Structure 1
Amino acid sequence: MNKIWKTTMKVRILIVFSLIFIFGGLLLIKAFYLQVIDAPQLRKMADVQFHTKIYFTPKRGNIYSANGGLLATSINEDGIAIDPLMIKHKYKVSKELSQLLNIKLEKVISKLNLNLQFTWLKKKVSSKTADKIENLGIDGISIVKQPVRYYPDGDILAHVLGFVGINDNGLSGIEYKYNKILKGNEKALQIMHDGLGQDIFIRGFGLEKETHGDNIYLTINKKLQYITEHYLDKEAKAADSRGAFAIIMNPNTGAILAMADYPAFNPNYYWKYKPRYWRNRAVTDDFEPGSTMKPFIISGAMQDGVIKPTTIVNGHHGAYYIDGITVHDVGTSFGHMNINQLIEYSCNVCACQVGMKLGKERLYYWLKRWGFLSKPHAGLLGESSGIDRPVSKWSHVGSCEEAFGQGAAITGLQEITALSAIANGGFLMKPYIIKKIVNPYGKVLFISKPKVIRRVINSKTDREMKYMMRLVVKGGTGQYCKLIDYKVSGKTGTGQIADPKTGKYYKNLYTASFMAFVPYKHPKLAMLVVQEKPLKISYYGGAVSAPVVREVFKRALNILNIFPGNKAYKKQVHIMSLNNLPIAANSVKNNINKKIHKIGIMPNLHGDTILSAIKDLVEYDKNITIKGTGFLYYQNIKPGTKIKKNQVILLKFKPLL
Structure 2
Amino acid sequence: KEKKAQNGYSIKLTIDNNIQEILEENLKKDLKKYSAKHAIGVIMDPATGEIIAMSGIAASDESRSASYLRSLKNLAAGFMFEPGSTLKPITALLALENKIFDPNDVIECKNYEVEGRPIRDAHQHSHLNFRDIIAYSSNVGISKIVEKVGPQMLYDRMIAMGFGQKTGSNLSGEASGIFRKLRDWQGYSLHSISFGQEVAVTALQLAQAYSCFANGGKVMQPYFVKEIRDEQNNLIKEFKPKKIRTISNQKSLDTLKVFLRNVVDYGTATSTKIDYLEIAGKTGTAEKMIEGEREYSKDKYTPVFAGFFPVKEPRYVMIIVFDEPEYKYHFSSSSAVPTFRNIVVSMLNRPDNNIITEIKEKNINYIEMPDLIGKTLEETELILQKEQISFNLISESKDGCVINQFPQPGISFDASEKVLVILDKVETLENEEVVDHVMPDFGGLTVRQALYSAVRRNIKLTVKGTGVVVSQSIPPGSKTDFGEECIITAN
Structure 1 length as normaliser, TM-score?
0.53
Distance in 2 (CA, whole Å) between partners of 1:544 and 1:423 is 23
Structure 2: give runs of 5+ residues left out of the alignment: 372-385, 387-413, 415-491
Distance in 1 (CA, whole Å) between partners of 2:335 and 2:286 is 13
- The 3 A distance-change label for structure 1 pair 529 and 271 is same
SS in 2 for 1:537: helix
Distance in 2 (CA, whole Å) between partners of 1:531 and 1:543 is 11
Deviations 1:298-338 (A, max 9, x none): 1122223322322321101xx211220000101x1112211
Q: Which moved more, 1:501-510 or 1:287-296?
A: 501-510
SS in 1 for 2:223: coil
- Counterpart pick for 1:452 among 226, 231, 243: 243
Distance in 1 (CA, whole Å) between partners of 2:65 and 2:316 is 33
- The 3 A distance-change label for structure 1 pair 268 and 545 is closer
Please state if 1:385 is matched with 2:181: no
- The 3 A distance-change label for structure 1 pair 572 and 272 is same
Residue equivalent to 2:27: 232
Contact 1:518–1:526, Cα closer than 8 Å, also in 2 = yes
Query: Following superposition of structure 1 onto structure 2, how do residues 230-269 of structure 1 map, counting pairs within 5 Å?
Result: 230-263=25-58, 265=61, 269=65
SS in 2 for 1:570: strand
Residue equivalent to 2:481: none
Please state if 1:516 is matched with 2:307: yes
- Counterpart pick for 2:116 among 304, 312, 324: 324
Give the drift of 1:461: 0.7
Distance in 2 (CA, whole Å) between partners of 1:263 and 1:369 is 31
SS in 1 for 2:39: strand
Residue equivalent to 1:562: 355
Contact 1:487–1:568, Cα closer than 8 Å, also in 2 = no
Amino acid of the residue matched to residue 287 of structure 1?
F
SS in 1 for 2:12: strand
Amino acid of the residue matched to residue 260 of structure 1?
S
- The 3 A distance-change label for structure 1 pair 230 and 365 is same
Amino acid of the residue matched to residue 303 of structure 1?
E
Contact 1:261–1:280, Cα closer than 8 Å, also in 2 = yes
- The 3 A distance-change label for structure 1 pair 304 and 240 is same
Contact 1:250–1:256, Cα closer than 8 Å, also in 2 = yes
- The 3 A distance-change label for structure 1 pair 274 and 260 is closer
Give the drift of 1:397: 2.0
Structure 1 segments (4+ residues) deviating >6 Å: none
Contact 2:73–2:172, Cα closer than 8 Å, also in 1 = no
Give the drift of 1:389: 2.0
Distance in 2 (CA, whole Å) between partners of 1:271 and 1:425 is 42
Distance in 2 (CA, whole Å) between partners of 1:540 and 1:521 is 28
Query: Following superposition of structure 1 onto structure 2, how do residues 485-500 of structure 1 map, counting pairs within 5 Å?
Result: 485-500=276-291
Distance in 2 (CA, whole Å) between partners of 1:242 and 1:268 is 15
Distance in 1 (CA, whole Å) between partners of 2:201 and 2:64 is 31
Query: Following superposition of structure 1 onto structure 2, how do residues 256-405 of structure 1 map, counting pairs within 5 Å?
Result: 256-263=51-58, 265=61, 269-271=65-67, 278-316=72-110, 319-330=111-122, 332-405=123-196
Give the drift of 1:267: 13
Report the aligned-residue RMSD: 2.5
- The 3 A distance-change label for structure 1 pair 402 and 268 is closer
Distance in 1 (CA, whole Å) between partners of 2:369 and 2:152 is 47
Contact 1:354–1:400, Cα closer than 8 Å, also in 2 = no
Amino acid of the residue matched to residue 383 of structure 1?
E
- The 3 A distance-change label for structure 1 pair 558 and 508 is same
Distance in 1 (CA, whole Å) between partners of 2:28 and 2:65 is 20
Query: Following superposition of structure 1 onto structure 2, how do residues 133-148 of structure 1 map, counting pairs within 5 Å?
Result: none
Structure 2 length as normaliser, TM-score?
0.71
- The 3 A distance-change label for structure 1 pair 283 and 321 is same
Contact 2:300–2:327, Cα closer than 8 Å, also in 1 = no
SS in 1 for 2:367: helix
Q: Return the index of the structure with the highest Cα Rg.
A: 1
Deviations 1:400-442 (A, max 9, x none): 1111111111111111011011111211111111111111111
Distance in 2 (CA, whole Å) between partners of 1:272 and 1:413 is 23
SS in 2 for 1:461: helix
Residue equivalent to 1:437: 228
- The 3 A distance-change label for structure 1 pair 273 and 526 is closer
Contact 1:387–1:410, Cα closer than 8 Å, also in 2 = yes
Structure 1: give runs of 5+ residues left out of the alignment: 1-52, 56-186, 189-207, 575-584, 586-610, 612-657
Residue equivalent to 2:450: none
* Greater RCO, 1 or 2 (C-alpha within 8 Å, sep 6+): 2
Contact 1:356–1:397, Cα closer than 8 Å, also in 2 = no
Please state if 1:212 is matched with 2:10: no
Distance in 2 (CA, whole Å) between partners of 1:489 and 1:274 is 34
Distance in 1 (CA, whole Å) between partners of 2:354 and 2:14 is 18
Please state if 1:552 is matched with 2:346: no
Please state if 1:477 is matched with 2:272: no
Amino acid of the residue matched to residue 118 of structure 2?
T
Query: Quick one: percent identity of the two aligned structures?
Result: 32
- The 3 A distance-change label for structure 1 pair 238 and 500 is same
Residue equivalent to 2:401: none
Deviations 1:560-597 (A, max 9, x none): 311235555322999xxxxxxxxxx9xxxxxxxxxxxx
Contact 1:296–1:370, Cα closer than 8 Å, also in 2 = no
SS in 2 for 1:467: helix
SS in 2 for 1:460: helix
- The 3 A distance-change label for structure 1 pair 506 and 526 is same
Give the drift of 1:291: 0.2
